[in-house]
Amino acid sequence: MPAQLHPLNTTNLIRNSYIRYLKTTYPFQGQHLRDQFWQALEQPELIVKGPLLEASPPFKTGRSIAQLVEDGVLHPTFRQLCGPALPWNRSLYLHQDQAIAKAVQYNRNLVVATGTGSGKTETFLIPILDALLRQRQAGQLGAGVRALLLYPMNALANDQLKRLRRILANFPDFTFGRYTGETKQSYRDAEKSFYEQFPGEPLLPNELICRDNMRDTPPHLLLTNYAMLEYLLLRPEDNAFFDGEYAQQWRFIALDEAHVYDGASGIEIAMLLRRLKDRVVNSEPGRLRCMATSATMGRGREDYPK
């Protein structure tokens, strides 16, 4: 069991470390001034106030993945994917349950706006994995992008990679890869970069880590950012993602942290996604499931029309 964070001890540690930093960074030559400065730093609640404790009510719970399978929402072989990173019997939050059901049963496009740490990733990842399981059973799981996971920053894409490694570690049929400015061209360079960037992380056979491999056999789950997506749509060498034999299976676009795209950037993203939809499905309605997530989007029901 991981060690728990003691709030009082941690507060004192942070306070004392910061005071020590101030004492050594701003030394006074005169002993009298130095004593006054140090005495002032020790005044209660001058540097740190608190600790402050905030109680948040728990999110409402819904069905577990096991119950969703039993109810016919998710594919029966979903259990093969489940493990510590995606528990089989643990109850999902109600908003996760509802989002998954709407995406899988009713082919709905979704905007999921809920608090930080409430499992927004599962609301689009579980429907995507369900679709891959169904294609696998039907013998249609060849190479080619099924889902684009779009992130505003590389750091968020890297965090998602770690999650996917844990979920897909024992399920090599599903491939995934991150294509950003950090992605190396050749496998040799990419392998070296991988172990430098993700020390201690396993390199799975179903994670495509270099541009050469992804262009040869595009992964089922493609992670990128909006700036790189612009390049991918323009460069002839990246046509394999959008044209030809490997580009006929696009099913999902997931936009994480959607609140980032406001104002001019929101207009640019909207046009970029329209170009993408025109490229991969000829803008045919209903061909793509589009899902956006955000922790901060409007003020609730009163802003739904906007």
Across-strand partners of 86? 83
Can you state the percent helix, strand and coil of the chain, rounding each to 5?
45, 15, 40
Note whether 221 and 146 are within 8 A (CB).
yes
Across the range 91-97, mean pLDDT stands at 96
Of 159, 89, 152, the C-alpha closest to 125 is 159
- In the DSSP assignment, the letter for residue 43 is S
pLDDT tier for residue 131 given thresholds of 50, 70 and 90: very high
Amino acid 7: pLDDT: 79
CA 118 to chain centre: 13
pLDDT digits (tens, 9 = 90+) for 224-282: 999 999 999 999 999 999 998 889 999 999 999 888 888 888 899 999 999 999 999 99
pLDDT digits (tens, 9 = 90+) for 16-33: 888 888 888 877 888 888
Amino acid in position 294: S
- Strand (E) or helix (H) holding 40: helix 31-41
Name all contacts of 63-71 with Cβ < 8 Å and 24+ positions apart. 63/91, 63/92, 63/97, 64/88, 64/89, 64/90, 64/91, 64/92, 65/89, 65/92, 65/126, 68/92, 68/97, 68/100, 68/101
Note whether 291 and 253 are within 8 A (CB).
yes
Q: At what angle do helices 7-25 and 31-41 cross, to 10 degrees?
A: 160
Note whether 95 and 82 are within 8 A (CB).
no
Burial classification of residue 232, based on how many CB atoms lie within 10 Å of its CB (0-12 exposed, 13-18 middle, 19 or more buried):
buried
Across the range 113-134, mean pLDDT stands at 92
The H-assigned helical ranges of 88-198 are 94-105, 120-137, 154-168, 187-197
Amino acid 300: pLDDT: 65
Beta carbons within 8 Å of 81's beta carbon, 6+ residues apart? 129, 133, 167, 168, 171
pLDDT digits (tens, 9 = 90+) for 153-176: 888 888 889 999 999 998 999 999
pLDDT at 151 over 50: yes
The CA-based diameter of the chain, rounded to the nearest angstrom, is 82
pLDDT digits (tens, 9 = 90+) for 51-92: 777 777 889 999 999 999 999 999 999 999 999 999 999 999
Note whether 78 and 87 are within 8 A (CB).
no
Amino acid 3: pLDDT: 60
- In the DSSP assignment, the letter for residue 30 is S
Note whether 141 and 135 are within 8 A (CB).
yes
Amino acid 15: pLDDT: 85
Amino acid 16: pLDDT: 86
pLDDT at 1 over 60: no
Lowest mean pLDDT among 141-155, 208-222, 239-253, 285-299: 285-299
pLDDT at 214 over 90: yes
Lowest mean pLDDT among 140-144, 187-191, 260-264: 260-264
- DSSP 3-state assignment of 256? coil
Note whether 92 and 119 are within 8 A (CB).
yes
Highest mean pLDDT among 125-134, 161-170, 277-286, 296-305: 125-134
pLDDT at 223 over 70: yes
- Strand (E) or helix (H) holding 216: helix 211-216
Note whether 187 and 209 are within 8 A (CB).
yes
Q: To the nearest whole percent, how much of the chain has pLDDT over 90? A: 63
Across the range 2-19, mean pLDDT stands at 80
Note whether 228 and 179 are within 8 A (CB).
yes
Beta carbons within 8 Å of 223's beta carbon, 6+ residues apart? 149, 151, 157, 160, 161, 176, 177, 178, 179, 180
Amino acid 41: pLDDT: 85
